[in-house]
Amino acid sequence: MPTALCNVFGGQNTSYAIQNTDLATSTDVTVTYSSGAPSVKLWAPTAKAVTLRRYADGSTSTYTAHAMTLDAATGVWSVTGDSTWNRQYYLFDVQVYVPALDAVTNNLVTDPYALTLSTDTSDTADPRSQFVNLSDADLKPSGWDSLSKPALRFKTFVSQEYADLIYNGLWFSAFHQDLAAFVACNQRFVTGKVRVKLFKGTAQAVGRQSEFSLYNKHLATYDKGDQFDHEAAKGFIRLWGLGTQTQAQLQLLKGGQG
């Protein structure tokens, strides 16, 4: 098992952990957000107690302790915070019995499902997990909600070309007219409302809303109740891998390189 999970289980009941991973995978044990407030869950069925240590940043030694509550049916510990937790850091303080020591010990572990971590700190061998809400506006590339993937990728290329064109003094060139036509067409659905935070001479986009937004949570996630038909993925996987499979059968395997 990963180090974090071994620490959670205290090195004991490994077979229990492996045989019952369906409890962890069937239960949402990632950090989820509701109205900007994170809910944290950890699957640790053999733990005697779990406390979430919340740090203001990735290096400070001071923290706020939050006791987590156990759901005995699933072995999942949970706690819900508020919007001020976002972008802060945390560790799990797991109290568990360790057979090798014949004692109950406390292990500080990171969240195995964390999206990002801090660098190593002096007071713990593990880096700290960070609360990150991927729906935050400042984490989305420009056009993320309103452009298709090919358009978004090509827009990045055009942006560089546009910058080079202006730098080289080619504003009145035919090439500029071509790029300007693409930009005008590409941006025709980029409209809506942007919420901006002004602080000490900086401006940060913290929210965006558009009637043309392509983002749909029910299609973009794999949560229960989503609208995506997972059976459709089977055909795509077969088609996507057909070229590799054909090459392996006709070339790599015959040549002894497969």
| pLDDT tens-digit map of 185-215 | 877 887 888 888 888 888 888 887 888 887 7
The whole-chain average pLDDT of the chain stands at 79
Q: Which of 66-75, 89-98, 114-123, 249-258 has the lowest mean pLDDT?
A: 249-258
Shared-domain flag, residues 10 and 104: yes
From CA 196, how far away is CA 199, in angstroms rounded?
A: 10
Q: What percentage of the chain exceeds 90 in pLDDT?
A: 25
Are residues 70 and 57 in contact, defined by beta-carbon separation less than 8 angstroms? no
For the chain, the domain total comes to 2
Residues with Cβ within 8 Å of 14's Cβ and at least 6 positions away in sequence, in order, are 1
CA distances from 123 to 7, 58, 67 (A): 17, 11, 21
Decide if 122 is inside a domain: yes
What is the per-residue pLDDT for 226? Answer: 66
Q: Per DSSP, what are the bridge partners of residue 195? A: 207
Shared-domain flag, residues 55 and 85: yes
Decide if 170 is inside a domain: yes
Shared-domain flag, residues 90 and 169: no
Helix (H, G, I), strand (E, B) or coil at 43: strand
From CA 251, how far away is CA 258, in angstroms rounded?
A: 9
Shared-domain flag, residues 196 and 181: yes
Shared-domain flag, residues 26 and 55: yes
Shared-domain flag, residues 10 and 118: yes
Q: Is 0.75 surpassed by the pTM of this model?
A: no
Burial (CB < 10 A; 0-12, 13-18, 19+), residue 148, is exposed
Tokens of 80: 């819900």
From CA 57, how far away is CA 87, in angstroms rounded?
A: 8
Decide if 218 is inside a domain: no
- pLDDT category of residue 249 using cuts at 50, 70 and 90: confident
Shared-domain flag, residues 111 and 149: no
- CATH assignment of the domain containing 23: 2.60.40.10
Give the domain extent around 86: 3-130
| Mean pLDDT along residues 82-96 | 94
Residue at a domain's end among 130, 160, 195: 130
Tokens of 137: 């506006």
CA distances from 74 to 3, 22, 30, 222 (A): 21, 10, 14, 20
Q: How far apart are the first and last CA of the chain?
A: 30
Shared-domain flag, residues 74 and 183: no
Shared-domain flag, residues 107 and 188: no
Residue 2 has pLDDT above 70, yes or no: no
From CA 127, how far away is CA 59, in angstroms rounded?
A: 9
Shared-domain flag, residues 8 and 126: yes
- pLDDT category of residue 223 using cuts at 50, 70 and 90: low
Shared-domain flag, residues 31 and 93: yes
Q: For the chain, what percentages of helix, strand and coil (3-state, to nearest 5) are there?
A: 30, 25, 45
Decide if 55 is inside a domain: yes
**CB-CB neighbours of 82 under 10 Å:** 10
pLDDT in tens, 114-173: 888 887 655 545 689 999 998 888 887 666 666 677 777 777 788 888 899 888 998 899
